């Protein structure tokens, strides 16, 4: 029989209030609170907390406060990562972000969802999740929302305020609600 954490990581319906998961979220929130309290005051201590929190951090990572996440260990960022103010990463499933990526202020990455069954959805006791994968050289504009299960290819630009509900390939500029391709990105490598 699977534990609730194993179900969570497998993308199955899981009990949000499982004691192990509650404990892990509490630990992550303590690190997040310490990180946010530092603000811009001590960049060395800030990045040390991010490295302790995230599952992987490449070279040259910068995250501005106020940052929020659920677990932290499901966030994997590669080299040259930047997250502006007020980013939220609900990392119930893994969030993988490639090299040279920029997140504007208030970008929201949501891997978690509630079940379609209303009986399971009541009281918020159950969740279900899907990974988010973001390629290299991606810029996500301020206030954009990336929904569960989305994959963005390399060299994608997401317009500010967009809601991305489906996956997109390489070298496109997307925007809107729901996001759609508005043009090809001519600056592919």
Residues of the chain with pLDDT under 70: 189
> What gap in Å lies between CA 92 and CA 103, rounded to an integer?
19
State residue 141's pLDDT score: 98
State residue 189's pLDDT score: 66
CATH number of the CATH domain containing 155:
2.160.10.10
> What gap in Å lies between CA 168 and CA 60, rounded to an integer?
26
State residue 38's pLDDT score: 93
Which H helix or E strand runs over 69? Answer: strand 68-69
- Among candidate residues 56, 64, 100, 114, the one labeled active-site is 114
Residue 140 inside a domain? The answer is yes
**Host domain of residue 179:** 4-184
Number of separate domains in the chain: 1
State residue 54's pLDDT score: 98
pTM score of the predicted model: 0.96
Residue 127 inside a domain? The answer is yes
State residue 39's pLDDT score: 84
Give yes or no: 114 in active site. yes
Residue 189 inside a domain? The answer is no
Residue 137 inside a domain? The answer is yes
């Amino acid at each position: 029989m699977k534990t609730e954490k194993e179900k969570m990581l497998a993308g199955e319906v899981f009990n949000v209030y499982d004691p192990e998961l509650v404990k892990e979220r509490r630990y992550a929130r303590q690190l997040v609170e310490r990180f946010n309290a530092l603000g811009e005051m001590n960049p060395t201590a800030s990045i040390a907390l991010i490295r302790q929190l995230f599952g992987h951090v490449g070279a040259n990572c910068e995250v501005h406060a106020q940052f929020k996440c659920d677990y932290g260990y499901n966030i994997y960022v590669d080299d040259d990562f930047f997250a502006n103010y007020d980013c939220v990463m609900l990392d119930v499933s893994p969030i993988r972000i490639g090299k040279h990526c920029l997140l504007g202020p208030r970008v929201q990455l949501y891997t978690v969802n509630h079940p379609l069954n209303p009986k399971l959805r009541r009281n918020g006791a159950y969740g279900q999740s899907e990974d988010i994968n973001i390629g290299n050289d991606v810029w996500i504009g301020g206030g954009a929302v990336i929904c569960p299960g989305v994959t963005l290819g390399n060299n994608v630009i997401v317009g500010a305020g967009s809601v991305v509900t489906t996956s997109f390939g390489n070298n496109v500029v997307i925007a809107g609600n729901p996001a759609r391709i508005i043009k090809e990105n001519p600056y592919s490598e």
